[in-house]
Structure formats: C-alpha cells, structure tokens
C-alpha cells in the first residue's frame, strides 16, 4: 500500500476516492443513456395532445410506475417534484394550511434533514406548534416519549426512515402505528433509504413519503412524493394541471425518465448491501486499529449499510477533511445541505455530542463502487495525517481586530462567505472576497509571505477554509473567532461607522490581486 502511495506521488497521479455517497451519487450509465435518449427524441410537451406530446406523457407514466414499484406504492400515489426538499415542503406546508387553526401541532424529531427542520421553523412563525420527540443516543425515536407528546391538537408526525448523517434506521412501522392509533398523519423522509435498504411505504403505514433521484444514481433536480390514496394534500405550486393537479409546471421529462431508470435498478443496488456493509466493517475495524481513540457514532445494528459517522477526539474534522481532500478523497463533516455556514450538526447535538465533539466527527458514505483499495488508501492518509498533524490554526479573538488593524497593510483579510451571507451582513472594508466554494481557483493570489486572516459569518466556515489553505501550503493563516457577527457584537459602533464606506477590494471573486 505504502509503495503504491509513493508511486502515485512520484508520478503525480492523483487518486480520486469518493466517499460521500449520502451527499449525492454519480449518475449511472443506464440512467445517462435513458436521459440522453429522452433529451434527443422526446421534446414534446406531455400536456400536448399530438403524438410527440403523448409520447412524453407515456415516458412520465412509465417512470411513475418504476418509482411506485421501487417504493411499494400504486402509481396513482406517486407525484414528481423538483427535489426531495420540495416534497418535504409540499407535504408540511399543505397540511399546515389544511389543519390550521383547527389543529395546530406537528411533532417531529431533532435529527431530521434541514429541508424538514427549516420548514418546521418557518411554520412555527406562522403559528404552528412544533415539538420534537426525544431520541436515544443513536437518534432513534423513543415510542413512549412520542405517545406522551401526541394530543388532540396534533395532526402530523414527521420522521425520516434513515438518517443522512449517522445512518440510523427508525422503526417506522411502530411509530406509524402509534400515530394511527391517535388519528395523526405520518410523513417519512425516505431519501437516504431508497436503494440502500428495502422501502415499502404501504407496509410502513405512512401517509406521505419523500424521495430524491440523485441519492440512487439518478439525476439531480427531480424528486417524488408518495401521497397515500385518500390522504389530504393541496399543491404547493399552482398553475397548470400537471401531475394530476398535484404539482404545476411542465414536467422535466428527461429527469423523470432518469429517476424511473434509477428506480428500475433498486433491486440491483440492494443486492450489494451486504458487500457494502462488509466494507464498512473493514473500515471500522482498521480505523480502530490505526486510532484506538476513534469513536464510532453510527449504531452497530439498525443503520444504513454504507454510512459511517466516526469521531477522532482531539482532531478537528475541518483539518482532517481538508487533508483528505488534498489527497483526492472526498468525505464530509455532516450533511451537505448545512455546509454553507458550517454550523455544528443538529443531529449530532441531538444525540448528545458536545459542540467540540461534533467538530471532531466525519461522515464516510460508501457505495458498491468503493473498493478495498480505496478504503486502504483512505486509512493510510488518515493514519499519516493523525501521526503528522502538526499545529492548530490560529484563532483571532474579535477584540484584536480594531480599525488600525483593518486599515494596515500587514495582514491580508479575506471574506470567505458565500454571496448570500455577504448580502445579509456586510464584511470588513478592505477585505478581499473569495468564497470558500471557489477558493481553489484563487490560490495563486494568496500571499505566502504575509499573514492571512480569514473571516466568515460565525467563524466556522473560515476555520474550515483555513485548514484547506494550510493543506495547500499556506502557513501564516488565522481565522476570526465568532466571524463578522461576533465582531459586530463587540464593535457595534465601529461596525456602523465602517459600514458606510464598506467597499471590498475584490468583489464577486474577480481576479484582482490579493
Ligand atoms: N432528506 C434527506 C434525508 C437528505 O439526505 C436530503 C439530501 O441531502 C434531502 C432530504 C434533500 O434532497 P434534495 O437534494 O433532493 O432536495
């Protein structure tokens, strides 16, 4: 293994190992071919009555049947959406509109995906009561706690089938039964489950379920909702009569065809589960060997075969993921949908990890294409990093950043926030703007001989960016503690004063000199 590693280095070959299949998956060849065919030949509008339109409509109906077969539903219970985020929004918002103010309460879990949690926060502002059912140390719903929370005001219980970060599988049948006994509807986010474990929405006893094509080798930009025959639902998007009046807008035929094709392959994906689980176990065994302190967060049983959440006490996950990235290995620190502000994972906090522990945890998610060679290479890079990881990143407290500092030429100050956060809160005058998400294109502009201070909204993204730059050979890096928000709290007057002439030197990732 070691020889292979040095050979790769010598030849400057970069090995690419993708271990983030819960974030998204590559589009399979069969799906690509189907989509290509549809894109080339089926351009008719499915709502048109002539032949080419009818052909497009037929493609949609065939795909609907494939999705229904994969999830154990009737085709008439499946509706296509733009993504699973939309599916979750559509159900939650539809039911809130339908029941409020007759009934006001939704119960959910604290380990849901942000497409559920943030929608619930939105509904809370509209007057809906939101309660979260306590979970055990693996994120499993405690049925007795759920029973205690359900009352006459409750109209919905929302619980994912499999967790995207730690892989925990919920006992949905039991949970649904409790809800049903109390005339409460159930929504289950099945996004991470489909293609990894068997899914049968009828057997689960849920009223609604959400799915996304890109998690099972389908395209991005298409999802589905299962709405049980007879369950209430009003559309989120109004307009034409598409999707039987459940979701307006001309259908994305090639994406839907791709989703159908991906669902056709679900049985084949499931056939790989055991083999993937064995690879995960191999990874766990060797991680414990190379780092006895390593703590496995995912449950031993009752978890997705491909998902491993593990913690390296004392090791910043931002540092480790940056080092892995530098060696061509993609793993994540948690859900892809929460990376923009790099906040501590809500799931990990909910299962009892301290904020520090959440920052020492990474998620590795395998797939049938992950080889033992990939795993051994990853283990080798982790081992090397744990042995050699030197210093830490310098964290600068907000009190150290005053007006003199900001206008001096000693330090290069860089705003690494994505644009939407820069719009929300103005940054320092004289700062350069290089979003972390495009930082790789601007490395040549960062000075190696000057101090570089990175800042973001709350101090987390800049910290991750600092580790990334360090992995690229920049050593005079520091990160502003608490970000611009933390600084603003401590320097309120100065922030107001500077805001008036806030003109970043380099805006919108232009190619000015840093
Ligand atoms: N629910 C879960 C559990 C997920 O993991 C994801 C994606 O990461 C989503 C919902 C959102 O899916 P989409 O990307 O289709 O909006």
- pLDDT, tens digit, for every residue of 63-106? 999 999 999 999 999 999 999 999 999 999 999 999 999 999 99
How far apart CA 142 and CA 220 sit, in angstroms, is 34
Beta bridge partners of 455: 415
- pLDDT tens-digit readout, 243-269: 999 999 999 999 999 999 999 999 999
Q: How many Å apart are CA 388 and CA 493, to the nearest integer?
A: 44
Q: H or E stretch including 79? A: strand 78-81
Measured from the CB, is residue 116 less than 6 Å from ligand 1? no
Strands 154-158 and 185-189: parallel
112 lines ligand 1 (CB under 6 A): no
- Strand ordering across the sheet containing 78-81: 78-81, 223-227, 208-212, 185-189, 154-158, 105-108, 129-132
CA 118 to ligand 1 center in whole angstroms = 13
- Catalytic site includes residue 190: no
C-alpha of residue 215 to centroid of ligand 1, in Å = 8
Pocket test for ligand 1, best of 24, 109, 337, 363 (most atoms within 8 A of CB): 337
For the Cβ of 84 lying below 6 angstroms from any atom of ligand 1, the answer is yes
Confidence (pLDDT) at 182: 97
CA distance 492 to 487: 8
Q: What is the pLDDT of residues 431-441, one digit of tens each?
A: 899 999 899 99
Tell me, what's the pLDDT at 448? Answer: 86
3-class DSSP state of 370: coil
Q: Specify the pLDDT at position 511.
A: 39
- Residues 438-446 have a mean pLDDT of 91
Preceding omega of 444 cis (within 30 degrees of 0): no
Measured in angstroms, how far is the CA atom of residue 247 from the centroid of ligand 1?
A: 19
d(CA 62, CA 261) in angstroms, rounded, equals 10
Q: Please identify which residue in the block is written with the tokens 């999705």.
A: 67
Measured CA to CA, the distance from residue 417 to residue 450 in angstroms comes to 21
164 in Cβ contact with 194 (< 8 Å): no
Q: Cβ atoms within 10 A of the Cβ of 124, count? A: 13
Q: Which of 133, 337, 412, 456 is catalytic?
A: 337
Q: With a 6 A CB cut-off, is 255 part of the ligand 1 pocket?
A: no
In short, whether 85's Cβ falls inside 6 Å of ligand 1 is: yes
Q: Separation of 387 CA from ligand 1 center, angstroms?
A: 35
C-alpha to C-alpha distances, 260 to 70, 253, 267, nearest whole angstrom: 9, 10, 13
Q: Is the pLDDT of residue 5 over 70?
A: no
Residue with tokens 């933390």: 486
In ligand 1, which atom is closest to the CA atom of 112? Answer: 3
Flag whether the pTM goes above 0.75: yes
**Alpha carbon of 347 to ligand 1 centroid (Å):** 14
Looking at per-residue pLDDT, the higher value among 243 and 509 belongs to 243
Per-residue pLDDT band at 508 (split at 50, 70, 90) = very low
Determine the atom of ligand 1 nearest the C-alpha atom of 213. Answer: 15
């Amino acid at each position: 293994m070691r020889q292979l590693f040095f050979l790769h280095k010598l030849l400057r070959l970069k090995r690419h190992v993708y271990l983030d299949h819960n974030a998204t998956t590559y589009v399979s060849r069969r799906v690509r071919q189907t989509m290509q065919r549809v894109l080339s030949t089926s351009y008719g509008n499915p709502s048109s009555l002539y032949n080419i339109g009818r052909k497009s409509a037929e493609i949609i109906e065939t795909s609907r049947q494939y999705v229904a077969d994969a999830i154990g539903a009737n085709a008439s219970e499946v509706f296509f959406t733009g993504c699973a985020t939309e599916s979750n929004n559509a159900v939650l918002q539809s039911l809130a509109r339908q029941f409020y103010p007759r009934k006001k309460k939704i119960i959910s879990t604290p380990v849901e995906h942000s497409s559920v949690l943030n929608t619930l926060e939105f509904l809370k502002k509209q007057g809906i009561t939101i309660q979260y059912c306590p979970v055990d140390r693996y994120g499993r719903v405690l049925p007795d706690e759920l029973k205690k929370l359900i009352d006459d005001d409750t109209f919905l219980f929302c619980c994912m089938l499999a967790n995207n970060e730690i892989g925990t599988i919920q006992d949905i049948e039991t949970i649904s039964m409790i809800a049903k006994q109390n005339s409460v509807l159930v929504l289950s986010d099945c996004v991470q489950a489909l293609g990894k474990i068997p899914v049968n929405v009828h057997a689960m006893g849920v009223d609604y379920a959400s799915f996304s094509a890109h998690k099972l080798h389908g395209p991005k930009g298409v999802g589905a909702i299962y709405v049980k025959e007879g369950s209430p639902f009003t559309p989120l998007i109004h307009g034409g009569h598409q999707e039987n009046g459940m979701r307006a807008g001309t259908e994305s035929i090639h994406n839907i065809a791709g989703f159908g094709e991906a669902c056709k392959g679900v049985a084949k994906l499931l056939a790989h589960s055991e083999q993937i689980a064995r690879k995960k176990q191999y990874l766990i065994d060797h991680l414990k060997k190379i780092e006895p302190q390593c703590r496995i967060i995912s449950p031993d049983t009752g978890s997705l075969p491909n998902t491993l959440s593990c913690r390296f006490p004392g090791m910043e996950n931002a540092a480790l993921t940056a080092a892995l990235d530098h060696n061509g290995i993609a793993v994540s620190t948690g859900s892809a949908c929460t990376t923009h502000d790099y906040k501590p994972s809500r799931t990990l906090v909910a299962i009892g990890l301290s904020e520090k522990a959440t920052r020492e945890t990474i998620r590795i998610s395998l797939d049938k294409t992950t080889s033992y060679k990939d795993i051994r290479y990853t283990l080798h890079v982790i081992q090397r990093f744990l042995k050699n990881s030197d210093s830490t990143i310098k964290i600068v407290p907000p009190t150290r950043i005053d007006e003199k500092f900001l206008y001096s030429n000693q330090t290069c100050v860089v705003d690494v926030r994505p644009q939407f956060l820069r719009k929300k809160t103005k940054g320092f005058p004289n700062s350069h703007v290089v979003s972390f998400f495009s930082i790789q294109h601007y490395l040549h502009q960062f000075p190696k001989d000057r101090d570089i201070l990175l800042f973001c909204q709350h101090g987390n993204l800049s910290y991750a960016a600092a580790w990334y730059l360090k992995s690229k050979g920049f050593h005079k890096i520091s990160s502003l503690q608490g970000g611009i928000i933390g600084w603003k709290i401590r320097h309120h007057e100065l922030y107001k004063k500077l805001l008036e002439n806030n003109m970043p030197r380099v805006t919108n990732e232009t190619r000015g000199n840093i």
